Chains A and B, each alone.
Chain A
């Protein structure tokens, strides 16, 4: 396995500077909302600003102690996104008399605390490899939960993906995204050699053995099951995409991708034919501007059309926070928050937001390149790609590039389960990036380590060897790979 060597510098101070910038973005967005809507800066505003700052710093300090070589860009990006989301949810609360804002603050706190716990107690992502099959079981349980009477919150907006605990609803599928990624990463990193070597070769395609197709069938079943029983097209696509990219990275074989695409095509074809809700989604998408489709009760395109009108009214520079009418769009603070941001921040603002996502997943892929273990590589790629795919499905749906499905926009949309899951993903990515960037010593280190693999792929020229400084100050946590 190849390795990528970078200069081992903690870069925590850079993170702190970026974090302050991110806090300025989030808090001033909140302030702009109050200013533009003629609201006084009440105690809520100051306490919220304080909470966001404390949470961000808590995460930062945890990293200083537990993962000081973690990527310095990831946390500030996520804090900025979360802050902007909180401001927009607050803004929509004011327009619609909702109380989603306080709930989102609460969930942000819970999610960041969960992320901090992961950093403190997990410390090294490789521990998770031991839980490969437990993760599979947990995933299955999580996916079945919303179908169990008594726990299920029933059909919400056409999908049964929610469970009810007391007064709170929760979307277990969000957490299943993580456990499935752990399972795939664990399984594929253990069995990739076997999968790679066995199998017939037909032309340029190396076909896998039937028994090695097992996990792919599992993934396919999970996706199709979610689609059939929970009516959740978005999550279905997400799971399958997640698995496809992980198996491709594990094997580097295009043949697997080809088989996967065939399965998707077959599944998709029959899904549209057999399941009316899938066909309806596609119909709604194609005929979105048909007044009949907008007016109909089930499968109405009212939401997407209103979202498009909102984004169009925002234009290039947007109306400004608090100055537009994003509240016209149904679910403006959750499924359609991208349209709300597009309207008030304009195309430029929305580009900035999407660039943050692109940067975030790029740092995730960077961690995958840098880390030395196959499990970590697969997990980082899987989690990063899941975020990318989720952004694509959501934003593509809102902009009518693809049919709209009910996925959440990571870190922005109102919704506790999504926040919790995504903050845990961030904690995992930070841990993997820590593993990728910290100095390695193949103890006993007699001479500077020379990487056996390929030269660094990108970035400014980096010395492939450890700098003397990092040799002189051996890391407290030297883990032999």
Chain B
């Protein structure tokens, strides 16, 4: 019997050996993998209560961590939160991080490799370890001005950027909200606020619609067609384009008309300048059908469409041409060429495309972060402009600039004029279902035409044509003037 007892003890010891083994595996061998597991929110929870660095605009914090009396030692506070909600994003214990809070998390928590030394130093000196500050390229006055241009209740986005550096000067969108309601320490009230906000139509909770939402670009996409046409060699600046009032497609009932109230009806044949000034549809549809889908796709790609790997530093939603469908039919390609149907773009993409034309064909990488600073505000990293890609040749860019200047001088974007400054621009109206008021009204342009300093792209969605026109070109004029007067 005792022998059996000893054997049983060995069985028990073997069970314990297995247990020791599995503890060792979890807490030693697999510990790093588990810590880095995507599902592991422990790091996030730890960061949530730590003293994160501030997000600065014009030297003032728009997000900062202040000491909190509860167990969670610091409370994130957002200043002018509705104005900056789309940029800062928010940091919630339950719902995670968005916007700059997410994109620059490593800097804000001070967990980058080079920040480690600072952290050790501050620990040794007895100071509370603190993350680094992130200063944005935003100009607070322009940001506020742009924000006020979107009436409450109106959905819209405005992007103002420097075409030569890619720095974002202003980026706003509405409807916005108070990010503070999601950053609280009380889980129940945060959950309530989160669900309430989710229920609001069109709200930008997870980053500004200026870089997260896709819109039909309407006629501003004709700039892509124009660049593709000139690049193909089949067209030049003097080409004469057929401009029928309506285009029909063999084998279908579909037709593509020119805008009935515009000035297109005046000419059945015209040059690029006229059809851009009046934003005629049929010539660009014919160009697209002539060049083929692949040529348009290639030019769109060169302007930044279909790029799923752009971070500025938060991820920019990829604009699409063609959209979900692979191969477009004739009618679909024609409609897509004028920015309807199967083409979608973020306002930031439209601004980048415009900036590429302004900058002689060189598209600069958009950037929202001007510098990274240590807790005592010493800069450790400064933003340097970077060329993202060559979108088109300088010749083509200059040619399109000339035509865009005419669009403002003599064409339908006349309201974007700024006294004493040559403005280049293009409007767009993407139609929704006829009879229903849900057009996207666009303006995109830059100034001064010969030495571009500023790009402004505006989209107002769900507007009737008159309101859309009122909210786009005149506002662009004011923004351009304000930036140039700085």
Q: Which residues of A does B touch, CB under 8 Å?
A: 1-2, 4, 95, 245, 248-252, 289, 291, 294, 305, 308-316, 325, 328, 342, 346-347, 350-351, 354, 357-358, 361-362, 365, 368-369, 374, 377, 381, 384-385, 388-389, 391-392, 395-396, 399-401, 453-454, 457
Contacts and interface: CB of A to CB of B under 8 A. Distances in A.
B27 A342 contact: yes
Interface of B: 1-9, 11-13, 15-16, 18-28, 30-35, 37, 39-40, 42, 45-46, 71
Nearest to B19: A395
B1 A399 contact: no
B213 to A, nearest CB: 26
25 contacts: A2-B2, A4-B2, A291-B39, A309-B34, A309-B35, A311-B27, A311-B31, A311-B34, A312-B27, A312-B32, A315-B28, A316-B27, A328-B45, A342-B27, A351-B20, A365-B12, A377-B5, A385-B8, A385-B12, A388-B16, A389-B15, A396-B18, A399-B25, A400-B22, A454-B2
Given A95-B71, A309-B35, A396-B18, 8 more contacts: A1-B1, A308-B26, A309-B40, A311-B26, A350-B27, A354-B19, A381-B5, A384-B12
Contacts of A315: 27-28, 31
Contacts of A248: 4, 7-8
Contacts of A358: 12-13, 16
Contacts of B42: 309-310, 313, 325, 328
A252 B45 CA distance: 55
A149 to B, nearest CB: 35
Nearest to A249: B4
Nearest to B15: A392
Contacts of A252: 1, 3-4
Contacts of B71: 95
| Chain A residues touching B, majority SS | helix
Given A315-B27, A392-B16, A294 B39 contact: yes
A308 B33 CA distance: 11
A392 B19 contact: yes
Contacts, number: 138
Contacts of A396: 18-19, 22
B96 to A, nearest CB: 14
A35 to B, nearest CB: 15
B1 A388 contact: no
Contacts of A347: 23-24, 27-28
A478 B1 CA distance: 25
B475 to A, nearest CB: 44
Contacts of A95: 71
B19 A381 contact: no
Contacts of B31: 311-313, 315
A190 B289 CA distance: 98
Nearest to A342: B27
Given A252-B3, A328-B45, A388-B16, A365 B23 contact: no
For A95, A250, A362, A368, the residue with the greatest tally of chain B CB atoms inside 10 Å of its CB is A368
A114 B26 CA distance: 37
Contacts of A453: 2
Contacts of B46: 325
B386 to A, nearest CB: 36
Given A312-B34, A369-B2, A245 B8 contact: yes
B19 A2 contact: no
Contacts of B32: 312
A377 B23 contact: no
A362 B19 CA distance: 16
A314 B34 CA distance: 11
Contact of B23 (A245, A313, A350, A389): A350
Contacts of B35: 309, 312-313
Contact of B30 (A294, A312, A365): A312
A2 B25 CA distance: 41
A249 B12 contact: no
B18 A401 contact: yes
Given A312-B26, A399-B23, A399-B26, A249 B11 contact: no
Nearest to B16: A358
Contacts of A400: 22, 26
A2 B6 CA distance: 13
For B15, B22, B27, the residue with the greatest tally of chain A CB atoms inside 10 Å of its CB is B27
Contacts of A325: 42, 45-46
The 5 nearest A-B residue pairs measured at CB: A312-B34, A347-B27, A388-B12, A399-B22, A401-B22
B27 A354 contact: no
A354 B6 CA distance: 20
Nearest to A353: B23
B8 A249 contact: yes
For A249, A346, A389, the residue with the greatest tally of chain B CB atoms inside 10 Å of its CB is A249
A328 B42 CA distance: 9
A398 to B, nearest CB: 9
A315 B34 CA distance: 10
Nearest to B24: A347
A250 to B, nearest CB: 7
A294 B8 CA distance: 37
